[in-house]
Amino acid sequence: MQLYLCEKPSQARDISRVLGARQKGDGCLMGDDKIVTWCFGHLLEMASPDAYDEAFKRWSFETLPIVPSRWKLEVKKDARKQFKIIQELLKKASSVVIATDADREGETIAREILELCRWQGRIERLWLSALDDSSIRKALDNILPGAKTEPLYYAGLGRARADWLVGMNLTRAYTLIGKQHGHDGVLSVGRVQTPTLNLVVERDLLIEQFKPTAYYELIAEFGTTTGNFNAKWQPPQSVSDTEGRCTNQQAALKVAQRIDARQGTITKATTELKKEPAPLPFDLSSLQQEASRRWGMGAQEVLDTAQALYETHKALTYPRTGISVSRIGAGVGGTDTIRSTIHVTCRQGGQCQTFQGMERQEDHRSPCHHPDSHGHQHRAHEYQRAAAIRSGLPPLYRPVLSRVRIQTDRYHSHRMRRDLQDKRTNTHGAGLALGSGQGRR
């Protein structure tokens, strides 16, 4: 019997539907020689210090640092029933297919269970970045050997153990130091939490200590036989600050007086043809920033929404990735998916664009060509999902569609080359503008 181990029930239902495993069991779905079961995220957690030694129940400097010689995992209280189900299924299985999320944590969730249950059999990996039927079928046709993704498990272990060592030891140390100075309460320290808090505090101090300074901009309007244009004075370093802004009002006024109502000659003017690559699709961080800027959404709210679009609507690829690109021809995210992406995107945008040349993309910044990446770009999925996409999805989905459409219809910024020499101009006047001096906070 082949056992598929998923990360969550919704993921298991999607995979079992394609496998034909539709018979409901206790904590699993069964088919012909195939069973699909699931976790609820991490079923296991790292043991607390007192699980290693009763002496660690009391917080004291004498017991620090706490460094386990053999790490222990414990089953979470609310996950004991499902863990026992998986444990019994493993006894009957001939092989295991890890079908958790396609990232470090997904790999860790599955393998830590296999490790605790002392699984010694065959392990394979179903690498899924989208949960639509087409992507699942392609992934099933391209199942990876377990050894290929095993390093992700060790990366996950390293992350978890580093969090434990930093959190357990430094939280105890700082709390004890705090008590010596009259602080009553726990001073929590975390490997990620504390440096992030420090960034916020440092930025807050910069804002608090900010002192506004005045600077001056000189903008002149020039007239030519073909029309008018504005030009901005670029002050020399002797009268500029580190950002190139003029801080000497008299210097700016002198230049304004010298050029006011005077004739000048354009000795050289060039324009260039420039090619600007389209923006990459969103990764989770850039999606959170865009949603915060446009709708004031918090980071967790964006993640929850994106996760729902991935699991429920099958409208996004796996959102918990920092990579904005995808591999073509790697089982998922191939040309067929890109073609349906463009079709959905164009219908959403009220336009109709054709699919041309995407199979031969070679630009190294293209989201459709990155042979070494494990992450996949957020993109619209499958033409048959268009109706669901159009009807009532959260506004968060709009910038995703927009970014995919721009990437599809790769734009270029074109300018005509020409040299203008000895073209006489008249200065209509120069104005001196006082900057706000407040700077950006």
Report whether pLDDT(395) > 70.
Answer: no
pLDDT band, residue 357 (cuts 50/70/90): very low
Q: Report the candidate in 403, 409, 353, 343 with the shortest Cα–Cα distance to residue 378.
A: 403
Please write the tens of the pLDDT for every residue from 23-38. 999 999 999 899 999 9
Between 392 and 200, the more confident residue is: 200
Rounded Cα distance, 438 and 441, in Å: 8
178 burial class (0-12, 13-18, 19+ CB within 10 angstroms)? middle
pLDDT attached to residue 424: 41
Report whether pLDDT(381) > 60.
Answer: no
Rounded Cα distance, 296 and 240, in Å: 37
Catalytic residue among 318, 383, 397, 411: 318
Report whether pLDDT(153) > 90.
Answer: yes
CB 2 within 8 A of CB 94: yes
Domain boundaries, the chain: 2-165, 174-208, 216-270+418-434, 284-408
Please tell me what DSSP assigns to residue 266: E
pLDDT attached to residue 145: 96
Per-residue pLDDT, averaged over 137-162, amounts to: 96
Between 72 and 270, the more confident residue is: 72
pLDDT attached to residue 394: 63
CA distances from residue 198 to 67, 168, 189, 309 in whole angstroms, order as listed: 26, 19, 11, 33
pLDDT attached to residue 299: 87
Sign, Cα dihedral of 137, 143, 148, 150: positive
CA 431, chain centre distance (Å): 45
Please write the tens of the pLDDT for every residue from 221-257. 988 888 888 989 999 999 999 899 999 999 999 999 9
318 included as an active-site residue: yes
Per-residue pLDDT, averaged over 123-136, amounts to: 91
CB 429 within 8 A of CB 257: no
Between 134 and 112, the more confident residue is: 112
pLDDT attached to residue 319: 82
Which CATH number is 284-408 given?
1.10.290.10
Q: Domain 2-165 class?
A: alpha beta
Report whether pLDDT(315) > 60.
Answer: yes
Kindly give the residue spans of alpha helices, DSSP state H, lying in 70-132: 80-92, 104-116
Please write the tens of the pLDDT for every residue from 196-218. 999 999 999 999 999 888 999 99
Per-residue pLDDT, averaged over 307-336, amounts to: 62
Please tell me what DSSP assigns to residue 62: G
Give, rounded to a whole angstrom, the gap between the first and last alpha carbons of the chain: 61
Report whether pLDDT(408) > 50.
Answer: no
Hey, what amino acid is at 171? T
**What mean pLDDT is reported for the chain?**
78
pLDDT attached to residue 57: 95
pLDDT band, residue 182 (cuts 50/70/90): very high
DSSP string, 12-59: HHHHHHHHT--EEETTEEEETTEEEEE--S-SEEEPPGGGT-GGGGS-
Report whether pLDDT(21) > 90.
Answer: yes
Q: Report the candidate in 328, 301, 306, 327 with the shortest Cα–Cα distance to residue 317.
A: 306
pLDDT attached to residue 377: 36
Which string of b and e fits 230-260 if b means at least 16 CB within 10 Å? eeebebeeebbeeeebbbeeebbeebbeebe
CB 240 within 8 A of CB 231: no
Hey, what amino acid is at 331? G
pLDDT attached to residue 301: 86
Per-residue pLDDT, averaged over 357-368, amounts to: 35
